[in-house]
Chains A and B, each alone.
Chain A
C-alpha cells in the first residue's frame, strides 16, 4: 500500500475547497428568511488511479455528501470538482451523462439500490442501455464480464435472478457489477459494507482492493469503521462537521493520529480480545448540528485539549506535508497521545 501521496500525474478525481450548502426553508419562507446550513466546508482531496482513499467520521459529518458531490447528485455552492481532469462542478443532468462512464457510485443499502422489478441482467445492463454504450448483442457478454469482475460466479447463473432471491452480499456485488459495467476510472463506495455481516464485508472490501490494484480504479471508500479503512485504504481522511480534520496515509492517521478527534475515534474502535482492556476515553456529547456550527474549531466544544483562546475563535487549517492535521494544539501537546492509549 504504497501508491499515493507523492506520485505525479493527473488525479482521477479531485475536490478543491468544496462547499455545500442546503437551504432549510422552502417556498415562501425561503424568500423571507435566508436560512442555509453548510454541510461541507472547504473539503479538498485528490485520488490517483489505483489508489483507495478512505473517508471516516461520525454519522452526520458529511461523508455521504462528499459521495453525492463527486457523482453530481448534490449541488456544489463553492469550490471545484474535477473528474478525469474535467471540471464537472456545475454540470447539468444532461452534461453529466457524458461523464458517467468515468465515475460510478456504490450505495450503502443493497436492499434498495436494486430495482425490485429488475432481473440482475436488467439492473447491470441498464447503464449500458441508458448511455447507448454498446450494441444489443454485446450486452450479455459485457454484463457477464462485469459480474465476473464483481466475483459473482458463475455469472450466467445470476442473469435471470431477482434481488429478492439474493443475499445482501450478492446484492452488493450486483451493485458493484452495475458500477463496473461502464469501465469507470473512479468508484465511489458510500458505506458499501455497513449493512453486511463482517465476513461478507471483508470479501467486498478486498474485492475493492483488487479492483484498485488490478484495474487501476481510483476508489473513494466511505465508512465509519476505522478498522476497515485501515485494512484496505492507502490514505485516510477523517471528517468532522463537514470539514476534513486529518488526512494522511492509513498507518499515519490511524496509528499515529495527531488530531484529538481522530484519537478519540480510534480509541472507540472495539477490540475482540477480552484481555486487552484499554482505558476507555469516551467522546462527550453528540455531533452538533451543522445549523449551529460552533465558532472557531468546530470540534472545540467536545475537545479534551481545547483551550479558551484560539480554539474557540479561529478555524484551524490543515497543515503538514503528507500527514495533515487541522488542530491548533496538536503540536503543542506531544504527550497528549499517551493519555488516549
Chain B
C-alpha cells in the first residue's frame, strides 16, 4: 500500500460521521466500483456477457453461412470493412458473426470450468485446513500432484481417451486449476480456525461441519470469488489454447477454433485479420478480468487489516 489509489482514498470516507448508526458500510461492490480501472474492467466483462447472451440477436449473419457478393462470387478472404468488420474467411463466412457466437461458447466453457474448479478447490482447501492430520496430508499431497500436472499434455490425453466434448474440456481444466484456490483457502482456514469465533462456535455446541461451513466458509467466500474471476480468465485462455490446437469438438465454434481455422487454412499470412480479432477479444477479456479482480483483491487485503 504505497501510492494511494482511488480505492484507498475511498475507504476513510466510509466511516463518515453523519451516517445514522444503523447504516451498513458501503458494500464491497460499491467500493470496487469507485476504482476507475475496476469500472473499466467491469464494463468490458459486462459487454462480453451481453454479447454471449444475445449472440443470436446481435450476429448479422449465420456464422457458417457462405456469403456471396453482388457479382455472384463467394466473398473469400475479404479484409475488414464496414459490412464485415472482422473480415471474412476463405469459405466466405462473416468472421464478426463467428466471433460473436464464439464468445458465447468460450465464456460458457470458461465460466463453467472455473466454477467447477473453484468449488472443488475451495472445498478441498476448507476440509484440509480444518481437519488437519492425515486428511490434510492426503489432500495436500494430492494438491502437490495437481501442481505437477502439465495442462496441455493432460488435456490431450483426456481428450484422446474420452473423446472430444465440452465436458471433457471442462474436466481437464478443472482437474488442473483447482490446485491454486485449494492452497490459498487452506492457508486462510489455518488462520481463521484459531480465531475466537471458531472456539465460540465450539462452545455454542456447533458440529464440526457446521463450524466449517457456517463460521469459516463465509469468511473464505470473497477469496473463492476472487479466484473464480481469475480462473475464468485462465480457463478462457485454456479453452482457446486447446481449441487452437484442434481439440475442440468438431462442430464447435469458439474464439480459439476461429484461430485454429485461420491457421489450418494456411491463409494466415495474407488474412491477418482472421486470427487477429478473436485474439484481441481474448486479450481484452483477460485484461478486464484482471483489472476487476485486482481492485477486488486490494479491497480484500484492506479489509483483512481491519479485521
Which residue numbers of A lie inside 8 Å of B, CB to CB?
71-73, 93-94, 96-97, 100-101, 103-105, 107-109, 112-118, 123, 126-127, 130-131, 157, 160-162, 164-165, 175, 178-179, 182
Contacts and interface: CB of A to CB of B under 8 A. Distances in A.
Nearest to A175: B200
A178 B204 CA distance: 8
Nearest to A158: B22
Contact of A131 (B204, B208, B307): B204
Given A126-B201, A126-B206, A116 B22 contact: no
Given A118-B197, A165-B21, 20 more contacts: A93-B202, A96-B205, A100-B204, A104-B204, A107-B196, A112-B197, A112-B307, A113-B199, A114-B197, A115-B201, A115-B219, A116-B307, A117-B219, A123-B197, A126-B201, A126-B206, A127-B206, A130-B205, A175-B200, A182-B205
B18 to A, nearest CB: 15
Given A112-B197, A157-B22, A105 B219 contact: no
Contact of B205 (A97, A113, A118): A97
B62 interface: no
Contacts of B21: 161, 165
Given A97-B205, A117-B218, A130-B206, A164 B306 contact: yes
A178 B201 CA distance: 10
B39 to A, nearest CB: 25
A112 B195 contact: yes
A107 B22 contact: no
A165 B219 contact: no
B24 A162 contact: yes
A267 to B, nearest CB: 33
A127 B25 contact: no
Given A112-B197, A165-B24, A71 B206 contact: no
B224 to A, nearest CB: 13
B203 A113 contact: no
A105 B218 contact: no
Given A115-B219, A165-B21, A100 B205 contact: yes
A116 B204 contact: no
Interface in B216-245: 218-219
